[in-house]
Amino acid sequence: MGKTRKVIRPLTQPLNIADREWVSQFILEHWGSNRVVSRGVIYYPQDLPGFVALHEREKVGLVTYNIISASCEIVTINSNRSSSGVGTALFEAVRNIAITSGCKRLWLITTNDNLNALRFYQKRGFVLVTIHRNELELSRKLKPEISLIGNAGIPLRDEIELEIMLDETASQ
């Protein structure tokens, strides 16, 4: 039997300049670096807009995003409490800001080893768009610290692009 976590109702609030150092440290702890690479672009999450999830005044999660034109990319999303509702609250916060900003598409990249993320996103309406085969070879040129082996011993090779069209979900 799997461990069940208590679902909480975290409050999400937009990041502000005072959060930058915390974001930098949080990303370092969860990603092993302060840099994130997505589709050949290097991001520094502490410089991106985002939301922090709070539960009883404790910071329990983070999402960062980047809006270009009518498209919003979720760059990072992490929770200190898996299966508790934190990730869902963060996803909904970005989805709402993307809709308010006039975006038609919400998308993200994950890696081929991230089975938990693939499950999480698909349960929330994301669909697989493209598998960018062997894309992590390019990513490692930009960020050499990316491991060759990922979760569950799976070789880290591919970027998987998922999206949700917002005009289809705005009324949900």
Alpha-carbon span 87 to 109, nearest angstrom? 16
Q: Which run of H or E residues covers position 43?
A: strand 41-43
**pLDDT at 88 > cutoff 80:** yes
**pLDDT at 9 > cutoff 50:** yes
Model confidence band, residue 171 (pLDDT cutoffs 50, 70, 90): very low
Total domains in the chain come to: 1
Would you call 157 exposed, middle or buried from its count of C-beta atoms within 10 A (0-12, 13-18, 19+)? middle
Q: Is residue 3 part of a domain?
A: no
pTM of the model: 0.89
User: Which structural domain, as residue segments, surrounds residue 56?
Assistant: 11-169
Q: Is residue 5 part of a domain?
A: no
Q: Is residue 2 part of a domain?
A: no
Q: Is residue 118 part of a domain?
A: yes
Higher pLDDT, 13 or 168: 13
pLDDT of residue 7: 64
CATH number of 160's domain: 3.40.630.30
Alpha-carbon span 22 to 46, nearest angstrom? 8
**pLDDT at 124 > cutoff 60:** yes
